[in-house]
Structure 1
Amino acid sequence: MTTFTDQELILQLKAGDRHATAVIYQVYFPMVTAYVQQHNGHPADAEDVFQEVMLVLVQKIQSPDFRLTASLKTYLYAIARNCWTKRLRDNRLLLPGAEAIPEEAGMPDLFPDPPATARVQGWLARITDNCKHVLKALFYSRQPMALLARKMGWKNKHTADNQKYKCLQQLRKAALEK
């Protein structure tokens, strides 16, 4: 296999050279696979993550102000780590929906709540339903503040910001209580 510098690979990839893609795959895919598998993933997950890594890389190098300030290996590793972490975080957000499966179905709990999640759920149980709705809309559903203000019937953004602040204060207070 011919060796290329990181800059040569970037230039070739930018030019659309498929050989550069093959070289990057051959050299760096095992690193991504190892990382994903060490962090509770499977080989199929690693393939998905590597595809995301390549998409991000190709997108970033097209930017005229792109400058590789680390080694290509470090850069790809960072992208892979971020992609995998996001995927894990997103999957954990979906886990509460798994509670809809009745226990009598004989299914073991494959995804037990981690202690941090249990703590947060305990804090949420101690705040008002209105604040639960507000915080869920803002942080889970990522609704824009203006949309939430309209849905809740608040007069303006200032009122919405105050409500958000009060709800976060309730959550903080619940977190500090034992």
Structure 2
Amino acid sequence: MTDQEIITLIEERREHKALVKLYRYESRVSTLIKKYGGSKEDAQDVFQDALLILCKNVWAGDFKLTSKLDTYLYGVCFNLWRTALKSKKGKEINLPDEYRLEDQNELEALIAKEGKIKQVEEVLKKLGDPCLKLLQLFYYQAKKIKEIMQEMKYKTENTVKVQKYKCIERAKKMIAKV
């Protein structure tokens, strides 16, 4: 379903069908809110508020979508959470530079980057258990080759290194196809 079809459903007051499609963006918002000290419940509240804002803006009759719909929702959620934090703390929030967005293009680029990260995550899941476990141990848990050898019951450290290389090459090929 395209962004415009979703907007049309909301305009026609058939928003339930549209909202079901829009909930696929909730996990991104949850990640954002948690990054800035919020809880899962905070993220759900912010996302629901953003959906209400979207519906009200569409129903007002003069809504023009100038970006992707997920970009719009992410921006609304970002601003809602920043406002909520500001009112809680009573002061301006200093965001790290990588989260300061000067214009709509930066927000779209950020969302595109997140999309690519999701694609890589999906590819890693498709690699299968031995490769996925090996890469997680090495990159995410920062375990040494010797520790991986013992944990995964490989015979030598070289075997771990070769297997890691093969897994990375397989992942690169799968990512190139995406």
TM-score (norm 2): 0.49
TM-score (norm 1): 0.49
